[in-house]
Structure 1
Amino acid sequence: MKTFLVSRTDAIGDLVLTLPLCGWLKQQFPGCRVVLLGRDYTRAVAAACPAIDAFLSDDELRKQSEAQQVATLRDLRADVCLHVFPSRRLAALAQRADIPLRIGTRSRWFHWLSCNRLVALSRRHSPLHEAQLNLLLLRPLGLSSVPTLPELVLLGGLVPTETLRAETAALLRREWPGQLNIILHPRSRGHGREWGLAHFGDLARALHARGHRVLVTGTQAEGDSLREWLTEHAAVLTDMTGRLDLPQFLAFIGAADGLVASGTGPLHLAAALGRHALGLFPPMRPIHPGRWAPLGPRAEFLVIDQPNCQECRTDAAACRCIKALEPALVLARVLAWQPLPPAYL
Structure 2
Amino acid sequence: MPIIDNKEIKHVLISRIDAIGDVVLQLPTCIYLKQLYPDVIISFLGRSYTQPIIEACKAVDHFMNYDDLKPLSKKEIAALFKEKNIDAIVHEFPKSQIAEAAKKAGIKIRIGATSKIHHLFNCNKLIRLNRAESNLHEAQQDIYMCGPLGVTHIPTIGTIARYYKDNFKPLVALPAQFKNLLTDDKFNLIVHSKSGGNGREWDMDNFTALINGLPLDKFRVFITGSFKEHQLFKTWIPQLPPSVIDLSGKMDLDEFIAFIYHADGLLASGTGPLHVAAASGIYTLGLFPVSKSINATRWAPLGIRAEHLESDSDDLSSISVDMVKKKIECWLQ
TM-score tier by shorter-chain length is over 0.9
The letter of the residue matching 1:5 is L
Moved segments of 4+, more than 6 Å: none
296, 306, 320: which one aligns with 2:303: 296
Residue 183 (structure 2) pairs with residue 173 (structure 1): yes
CA deviation string 1:117-164 (max 9, x = no partner) = 100012222221110111111111221211111211232442021221
The letter of the residue matching 2:138 is E
Q: What SS is found at the alignment partner of 1:184?
A: strand
After TM superposition, give the deviation of residue 173 of structure 1 in Å: 2.0
Q: What SS is found at the alignment partner of 1:34?
A: strand
Q: Which residue of 2 aligns with 1:73?
A: 81
Kindly report which structure 2 residues correspond to 1:183-194, keeping only aligned pairs within 5 A, or say none: 183-194=190-201
Task: Give the TM-score normalised by the residue count of structure 1.
Answer: 0.90
The letter of the residue matching 1:147 is P
Q: Which residue of 2 aligns with 1:37?
A: 45
Q: What CA distance in whole angstroms lies between the structure 2 residues aligned with 1:65 and 1:261? A: 40
Task: Give the TM-score normalised by the residue count of structure 2.
Answer: 0.93
155, 164, 167: which one aligns with 2:174: 164
Q: Which residue of 2 aligns with 1:101?
A: 109
Q: Which residue of 2 aligns with 1:24?
A: 32
Q: What CA distance in whole angstroms lies between the structure 2 residues aligned with 1:66 and 1:113? A: 15
The number of residue pairs the alignment matches comes to: 323
Q: What CA distance in whole angstroms lies between the structure 1 residues aligned with 2:119 and 2:293? A: 23
Asked if the contact 1:220–1:242 (Cα under 8 Å) also holds between the matched residues in 2, the reply is: yes
Q: What CA distance in whole angstroms lies between the structure 2 residues aligned with 1:301 and 1:135? A: 22
Q: What CA distance in whole angstroms lies between the structure 2 residues aligned with 1:191 and 1:287? A: 10
Q: Which residue of 2 aligns with 1:261?
A: 268
Residue 317 (structure 2) pairs with residue 333 (structure 1): no
Asked if the contact 1:46–1:52 (Cα under 8 Å) also holds between the matched residues in 2, the reply is: yes
CA deviation string 1:251-302 (max 9, x = no partner) = 1011110000001100000000001010011111111111110000000001
Asked if the contact 1:259–1:275 (Cα under 8 Å) also holds between the matched residues in 2, the reply is: yes
Asked if the contact 1:208–1:236 (Cα under 8 Å) also holds between the matched residues in 2, the reply is: no
Q: What SS is found at the alignment partner of 1:18?
A: helix
Q: What CA distance in whole angstroms lies between the structure 2 residues aligned with 1:214 and 1:287? A: 27
After TM superposition, give the deviation of residue 65 of structure 1 in Å: 4.1
After TM superposition, give the deviation of residue 338 of structure 1 in Å: 4.0
The letter of the residue matching 1:23 is I
Asked if the contact 2:199–2:270 (Cα under 8 Å) also holds between the matched residues in 1, the reply is: yes
CA deviation string 1:36-65 (max 9, x = no partner) = 001110000011011111101110112334
Runs of 5+ in structure 1 lacking a partner?
313-318, 340-345
Q: What CA distance in whole angstroms lies between the structure 1 residues aligned with 2:137 and 2:129? A: 13
Asked if the contact 2:74–2:98 (Cα under 8 Å) also holds between the matched residues in 1, the reply is: no
Runs of 5+ in structure 2 lacking a partner?
1-8
After TM superposition, give the deviation of residue 96 of structure 1 in Å: 1.0
